[in-house]
Amino acid sequence: MTFYRNGVWLVKGLKEYTKAGYEAAAKHFVPGDLDVNLKGKSFMITGANSGIGKAAAIEIAKRDHFGDMPFHSADSATTLIHSCKNGLQITVSSGGMLVQKLNIADLQFEKGQFDGTMAYAQNKRQQVILTEQWSKQHTDIHFSSMHPGWADTPAVRLSMPDFYEKMKNKLRSEAQGADTVVWLAVSASAATQASGQFYQDRKPVSAHLPLASTRSSAGDEEKLLTVLEQLAEKFNPNTAQSSD
C-alpha cells in the first residue's frame, strides 16, 4: 500500500503541485477575489519570518493592514479569540500528508526507527483531522486547512536537499505556495465555503488519495483530540498553579 500511495502521490504532484500546476489552476481563479481592503481587521500568522508564512504576511500587509497581537496570558488570548466576530483559523498542512493514515498507536513516534519525513507527514495528517474536528466543535469560527504544493522555501532546501536539486526548476514560488492561505484569509468567496474543508489552489479537495485507505475511524479521530487535549493541559498555567 505504501508503494501505491507514493506512486499516486508522485504522479499527482508532478501534474498539480509544481509551478506549472499552479499556473494551470490560476487560469480558473475568480478575478478580483483578492482585491480587498483589510482596514480594521487583525491577523496573527505563525512562522511569518520565513517561507510560506512570510509570503502570506506580505500579501496580507499589502491590503492596508497587518498587525501582531501580543498577549500577556493564555486567558486573555482565549477570551479575545472567542469574542471575535467572523473569526477564521487556517492551517497550513502539506501534500505529503496524503500518503499517511493517522497512526493513533504511536503519536510520539516512540516505536521503531525514527523517520523524520514520515513523522512530518503524520503531523500534517493530524492537522487536517484536527481542523475537521474543530469545525464541528466551534461553529462560530470558520476553519480551513490547505497545502501549498511544492514550493521553493528554506525549509524544503534544508530538509529535502535531494528533492530540491531534482525539482528546483519546477517548484512554486513562496507567493504561489501562500496564495491559497491569503485567499482563505481575505476573500469573501472563501468565507462562503463550508467550514473544515481541505484546500488546494483555492478549491476544496479530498484529503485522501483514491483507493489509498488513509481514512481513519471516528473513534481514532476522537482519541487524537483527547490525547492532544491531555498533553496541552500539562502546559496550561492555570492547571500548573492549581496543582502546586
Catalytic residues: 120
User: Which ranges in the chain belong to alpha helices (H)?
Assistant: 2-16, 19-26, 51-61, 74-83, 116-137, 154-159, 161-167, 174-186, 188-191, 218-233, 237-243
Question: Are the C-beta atoms of 121 and 100 separated by less than 8 Å?
Answer: yes
Instruction: Report the distance separating Cα 58 and Cα 36, nearest Å.
Output: 14
Residue 144's φ and ψ, nearest 5 degrees, are -145, 150
184, amino acid identity: L
Q: Give bridge partners of residue 142 from the DSSP assignment.
A: 88
Sorted by sequence, the CB contacts under 8 Å of residue 114 that are 6+ apart come out as: none
